[in-house]
């Protein structure tokens, strides 16, 4: 919704009433809107059925693990939020806020209130200096893909960041940035995995006249698990450092084709358990092709290392292929067919996810169908279907699940 000078007062009053109803801030917290300000409040709701919500193996007695024979779940969510996009001269300010309530029919102990907030300032000085300063905070129930049990997995994720770029040549740019990522779990048994990472990043880029970007990136990370107390029986460390080196590119191959990604090397060293140190090649290649006015394809191949969400491994090496076909059959109806296949290997720890002396290894495949229907410009309805299967060398980690749901959203 675009707010003009003539109706700004009325719209600010309606927005204040909306914020009051969802527990937001009073209207005096907001500056007077200008013609360049965009404020979009919305409400949303979703219903989801999942045949195996906790990702339990057929070899596992669900009654023993959860106290229930039914592995399925029916999840209901209602949400309200707003998006703000302000442009003040050459400065760009983005503010987003969303609060949601979630109810579970089978595993009601998982009911929770979540949120998703973002504040970001894209700043510009002269023609050769720019950057970003921002903060995000998300409260969400984490996935059970790696937990495979009924435990509290509510987590709070925070990210604060600042960076600056200097255009030292019409085709040359250098960027420096720092950011902190924090993840905290609400459940006492999960706080073992609380994690803080402080990062510093350096980018040197070549900006081609055609709009493509090629560069090199160095990322240094200092990480810690503040809730882990080391003892004589400890199998996992509580601190580490990591270095990432990569060549990056964003190639505008044509008006319809874009290829971006990176290839590099990562090395992680633990503070106390050097036997868990690892290093490997990392890479990502993304291809986006606008085949026609109505059809587009996205293909991504990845070899990446990310945090693992269990007590027995710190990180997981993932390599695989992701594919998505999108078809906009009409201005009101769009369909997306996502598919993926990935191999996962767990790193940086030992425990129940090992098979003999070998770390757990998984093969995961999924296929889905997403439909987006806009009966009106301000209303969207999105049915979703998905099938996922994991085969693992750890029998209790193999699973199969089917899910179906619908998402509804109305913007003001």
Q: What is the pLDDT along the chain (412 residues), one digit of tens a residue?
A: 444 444 444 444 433 433 333 333 333 333 344 444 589 999 999 999 999 999 999 999 999 999 999 999 999 999 999 999 999 999 999 999 999 999 999 999 999 999 999 999 999 999 999 999 999 999 999 999 988 899 999 999 999 999 999 999 999 999 999 999 999 999 998 998 899 999 999 999 999 999 999 999 999 999 999 998 888 888 888 999 999 999 999 999 999 999 999 999 999 999 998 888 888 999 999 999 999 999 999 999 999 988 776 656 667 899 999 999 999 999 999 999 999 999 999 876 544 444 555 788 999 999 999 999 999 999 999 999 999 999 999 888 999 999 999 999 999 8
Dihedral sign computed on CA atoms, order 9, 123, 258, 220: negative
Do 97 and 24 touch, CB atoms closer than 8 A?
yes
Cα separations in angstroms, 399 against 132, 306, 321, 375: 42, 21, 20, 37
Q: Which long-range contacts (CB under 8 A, 24 or more apart) does 95-102 make?
A: 95/119, 95/120, 97/24, 99/22, 99/23, 100/44, 101/77, 102/75, 102/76, 102/77, 102/141
Dihedral sign computed on CA atoms, order 309, 312, 316, 321: negative
Which of 206, 120, 189 minimizes the C-alpha distance to 153? 189
Res 353: pLDDT: 45
Burial class (CB in 10 A: 0-12, 13-18, 19+), 77: middle
Burial class (CB in 10 A: 0-12, 13-18, 19+), 197: middle
Which of 358, 359, 363 minimizes the C-alpha distance to 398? 363
Which of 393, 193, 395, 392 minimizes the C-alpha distance to 311? 193
Rounded Cα distance, 184 and 187, in Å: 9
Do 168 and 128 touch, CB atoms closer than 8 A?
yes
Rounded Cα distance, 275 and 277, in Å: 6
Phi, psi dihedral angles at 107 (to 5 degrees): -100, 70
Res 383: pLDDT: 97
Res 232: pLDDT: 85
Could you tell me where the beta strands, DSSP code E, fall in 170-212? 172-185, 195-207
Maximum separation of any 2 CA atoms in the chain, in Å: 72
Do 27 and 15 touch, CB atoms closer than 8 A?
yes
Tell me the whole-structure pTM to 2 decimals: 0.84
Cα separations in angstroms, 20 against 15, 24, 26: 9, 5, 7
Res 310: pLDDT: 60
């Amino acid at each position: 919704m675009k707010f003009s000078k003539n109706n700004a007062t009325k719209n600010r009053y309606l927005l204040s009433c909306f914020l009051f109803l969802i527990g937001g801030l009073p209207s005096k917290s907001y500056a007077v809107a200008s013609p360049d300000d965009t404020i979009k409040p919305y409400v949303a709701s979703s219903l989801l059925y999942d045949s195996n919500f906790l990702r339990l193996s057929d070899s596992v007695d669900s009654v023993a693990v959860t106290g229930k024979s039914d592995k399925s779940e029916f999840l209901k969510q209602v949400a309200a939020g707003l998006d703000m996009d302000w442009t003040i001269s050459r400065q760009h300010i983005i503010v987003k806020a969303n609060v949601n309530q979630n109810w579970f029919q089978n595993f009601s102990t998982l009911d929770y209130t979540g949120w998703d907030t973002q504040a970001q300032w894209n700043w510009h000085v002269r023609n050769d200096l720019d950057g970003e300063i921002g903060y995000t905070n998300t409260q969400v129930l984490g996935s059970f893909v790696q937990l495979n049990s009924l435990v509290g997995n509510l987590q709070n994720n925070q990210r604060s960041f600042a960076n600056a770029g200097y255009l030292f040549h019409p085709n040359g740019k250098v960027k420096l940035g720092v950011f902190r990522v924090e993840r905290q779990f609400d459940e006492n048994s999960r706080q073992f995995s609380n994690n803080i990472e402080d990062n510093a990043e350096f980018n040197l880029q070549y900006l081609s006249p055609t709009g493509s970007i090629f560069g090199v990136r160095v990322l240094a990370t200092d990480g810690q698990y503040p809730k882990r107390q080391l003892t004589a029986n400890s199998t996992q460390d509580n601190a580490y450092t990591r270095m990432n080196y990569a060549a990056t590119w964003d190639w505008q191959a044509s008006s319809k084709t874009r290829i971006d990604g990176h290839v590099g090397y990562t090395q992680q060293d633990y503070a106390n358990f050097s036997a868990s140190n690892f290093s490997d090649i990392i890479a990502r290649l993304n291809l986006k092709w606008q085949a026609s006015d109505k059809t587009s394809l996205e293909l991504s191949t990845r070899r990446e290392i990310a945090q693992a969400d269990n007590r027995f491994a710190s990180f997981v090496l993932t390599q695989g292929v992701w594919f998505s076909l999108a078809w906009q059959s009409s201005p009101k109806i769009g369909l997306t067919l996502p598919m993926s296949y990935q191999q996962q290997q767990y790193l940086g720890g030992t425990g129940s996810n090992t098979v003999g002396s070998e770390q757990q290894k998984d093969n995961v495949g999924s296929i889905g169908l997403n439909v987006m229907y806009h009966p009106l410009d301000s209303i969207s309805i999105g049915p979703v279907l998905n099938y996922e299967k994991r085969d693992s060398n750890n029998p209790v980690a193999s699973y199969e699940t089917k899910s179906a749901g619908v998402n509804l959203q109305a913007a003001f």
